[in-house]
């Protein structure tokens, strides 16, 4: 048996944004916020000709919540062709070895971690994968993408559209109304929604041209297929919050951010967050944010022009409107 290729642990990153690239070969799960099941996804494209072995060691540190590892291989159409799970014991190293028997072709290999249900909300959840490698008589064609991990990406949820049933939940229809009615009445040229998902809010927003960005590739695929996407001038891109400045957009006179600026999504770095927003908002532009009060502290260094708090599902929502200080209206 020859060692075919070693997935360099140093190549593994948690976030696609260079700046937030995390450290190699470790999957981190952030302490889950209440009702958020923390999870992480590593993925890599591979091309194989024959059977091979996947091998790694898994560990859950002693202060971690119980977590399950889900390994899967998807073909180019996105069908899962192989899936297997491992559940290491907390505080112990578990060896994982799997023989993979596959047709020749291109596959996407992913490792997901899932905190098991019933874990206390305040428990830490993080895991570590040691030296993942593919071994076998098989050959690998083409270059191997670096393993990536998108921290707490909700991508897996977007197997179907509207994964949180917004369209069927009165509280969500109400919060959409509240958000739409708090937007200052004026003509907007360019609108950006950060965290657009599959478009629950997006197509109701004003603006001659709509731009939607979401970290989930699948969500972006869904939104592009909606019929409204053919009726409005719009564009959609997959990318993380911290990648936005590199996406080189022209500035926006309306930016909407709902349910994104939580520490478990964007980290705790207020200055970096304000820099991203500052790089996107046009002079005199409007920013509307909407978040669950207990999950974040507000951190927007702009002029708050309106705000509202209301009950949403089992939470309280904080809806806020900002503009910049530099405008001078005569």
Partner 1 sequence: MILTYHKISPFTPTHWWIDVDTFRAQLLALRGKKVVYLDEYNPQNPEHVVISFDGVYECVWRFAIPILREFGYCFELFVIGDVLGQVNYFDEPEPLARFANIDQLREMVDAGGRVQWHTSSHAPLAGRDDHELKRELLVPDHLLKLFPAPHFQWFAYPHGEYMEAADAIIRAHYRGAVTTNEISEEDPYQFGRLLVFKETKISKDRLSLIIPNYNYGVFIGEAISSVLAQSVLPDEILIIDDASTDDSRLIIDYYAEKFPNLLRAEYNSTNLGVVDNFRKAISLTEGDFVVFIGADNRVRYDFVEQHLAALKMFPDAAVAYCDIVLFGPRARIQASRLEPREEFSVKRIFADVATGAEQYLWRFPEPSPELIANMHEVNFVHGSAAYRRDAYEGVGGYQERKGVAEDKSLFHRMLASGWRAVHVPEPLLEYRQHSLDQANQVVGREASIHALQRENARLKTKISAIEKILGS
Site membership for partner 1, residue 298 (CB under 8 A): yes
Nearest to 299 by CA among 260, 251, 328: 260
- Using the contact rule CB under 8 A, the part of the chain among 38-46, 114-122, 183-191, 225-233 near partner 1 is 183-191
State the Cα–Cα distance between residues 35 and 101, nearest whole angstrom.
Answer: 37
State the Cα–Cα distance between residues 318 and 325, nearest whole angstrom.
Answer: 22
* Region of residue 140 (phi > 0: left; psi between -120 and 50: alpha; otherwise: beta): beta
Q: How far is the CB of 6 from partner 1 (least distance, A)?
A: 15
Site membership for partner 1, residue 323 (CB under 8 A): yes
Site membership for partner 1, residue 39 (CB under 8 A): no
Site membership for partner 1, residue 328 (CB under 8 A): yes
Site membership for partner 1, residue 122 (CB under 8 A): no
3-state secondary structure of 123: coil
Using an 8 Å Cβ cutoff, are 254 and 286 in contact?
A: yes
Site membership for partner 1, residue 304 (CB under 8 A): yes
Cβ atoms within 10 A of the Cβ of 14, count? Answer: 23
Site membership for partner 1, residue 307 (CB under 8 A): yes
State the Cα–Cα distance between residues 310 and 315, nearest whole angstrom.
Answer: 9
Question: φ and ψ at 239, to 5 degrees?
Answer: 175, 160
Residue among 3, 6, 61, 278 that touches partner 1 (CB under 8 A): 61
Q: How far is the CB of 288 from partner 1 (least distance, A)?
A: 13
Site membership for partner 1, residue 163 (CB under 8 A): no
CA atoms 165, 32, 193, 294: torsion sign = positive
- Using the contact rule CB under 8 A, the part of the chain among 59-67, 114-122, 199-207, 231-239 near partner 1 is 59-67
Q: Nearer to partner 1 by C-beta: 49 or 133?
A: 133
Is residue 77 classed exposed, middle or buried when 0-12, 13-18 and 19+ CB atoms within 10 A define those classes? exposed
Using an 8 Å Cβ cutoff, are 195 and 179 in contact?
A: no
Q: Which two tokens stand for residue 246?
A: 């590199």
Site membership for partner 1, residue 186 (CB under 8 A): yes
- Using the contact rule CB under 8 A, the part of the chain among 19-27, 35-43, 71-79, 137-145 near partner 1 is 19-27
Nearest to 74 by CA among 116, 50, 101, 45: 45
Site membership for partner 1, residue 62 (CB under 8 A): yes
Q: Nearer to partner 1 by C-beta: 236 or 241?
A: 241
- Using the contact rule CB under 8 A, the part of the chain among 54-62, 164-172, 203-211, 246-254 near partner 1 is 54-62
State the Cα–Cα distance between residues 77 and 268, nearest whole angstrom.
Answer: 37
Site membership for partner 1, residue 185 (CB under 8 A): yes
Residue among 49, 68, 86, 124 that touches partner 1 (CB under 8 A): 124
Q: Residue 143 contacts by C-beta under 8 Å, 6 or more apart in sequence? A: none
Q: Nearer to partner 1 by C-beta: 228 or 309?
A: 309
| β-bridge mates for residue 308, sequence order | 319
Residue among 148, 176, 190, 318 that touches partner 1 (CB under 8 A): 318
Q: How far is the CB of 208 from partner 1 (least distance, A)?
A: 18
Site membership for partner 1, residue 237 (CB under 8 A): no
Residue among 237, 270, 313, 315 that touches partner 1 (CB under 8 A): 270
Using an 8 Å Cβ cutoff, are 313 and 164 in contact?
A: no
Q: Which residues bind partner 1 (CB under 8 A)?
A: 9-10, 14, 19-20, 22-26, 28, 30, 59, 61-63, 124, 126, 128, 151, 184-186, 263, 266-272, 293, 297-301, 303-311, 316, 318, 323-330
């Amino acid at each position: 048996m020859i060692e075919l290729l070693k997935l360099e642990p140093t190549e593994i990153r948690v976030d696609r944004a260079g700046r937030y690239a995390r450290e190699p070969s470790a999957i981190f799960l952030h302490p889950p916020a209440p009702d958020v099941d923390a999870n992480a996804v590593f993925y890599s494209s591979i091309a194989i000709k024959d059977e091979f072995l996947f091998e790694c060691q898994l560990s859950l540190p002693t202060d971690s919540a119980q977590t399950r590892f889900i390994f899967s291989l998807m073909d180019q159409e996105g069908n899962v062709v192989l899936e297997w799970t491992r559940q290491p014991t907390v505080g112990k190293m578990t060896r994982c070895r799997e023989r993979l028997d596959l047709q020749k072709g291109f596959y996407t290999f992913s490792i997901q971690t899932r905190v098991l249900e019933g874990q206390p909300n305040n428990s830490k959840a993080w895991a570590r994968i040691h030296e993942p490698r593919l071994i076998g008589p098989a050959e690998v064609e083409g270059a191997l993408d670096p393993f990536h991990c998108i921290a707490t990406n909700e991508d897996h949820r977007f197997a179907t559209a509207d994964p949180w049933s917004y369209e069927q939940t009165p509280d969500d229809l109400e919060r959409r109304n509240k958000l739409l009615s708090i937007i200052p009445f004026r003509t907007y040229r360019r609108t950006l929604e950060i965290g657009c998902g599959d478009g629950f809010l997006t197509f109701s927003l004003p603006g001659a041209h709509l731009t939607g960005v979401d970290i989930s590739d699948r969500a972006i695929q869904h939104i592009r297929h909606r019929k409204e996407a053919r009726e409005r001038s719009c564009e959609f891109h997959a990318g993380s919050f911290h990648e936005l400045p590199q996406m080189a957009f022209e500035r926006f006179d309306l930016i909407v951010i709902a349910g994104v600026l939580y520490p478990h999504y964007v980290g705790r770095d207020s200055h970096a967050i304000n820099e991203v927003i500052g790089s996107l908002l046009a002079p005199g532009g409007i920013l509307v944010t909407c978040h669950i009060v207990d999950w974040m502290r507000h951190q927007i260094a702009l002029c708050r022009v309106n705000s509202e708090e209301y009950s949403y599902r089992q939470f309280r929502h904080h809806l806020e409107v900002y503009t910049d200080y530099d405008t001078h209206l005569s």
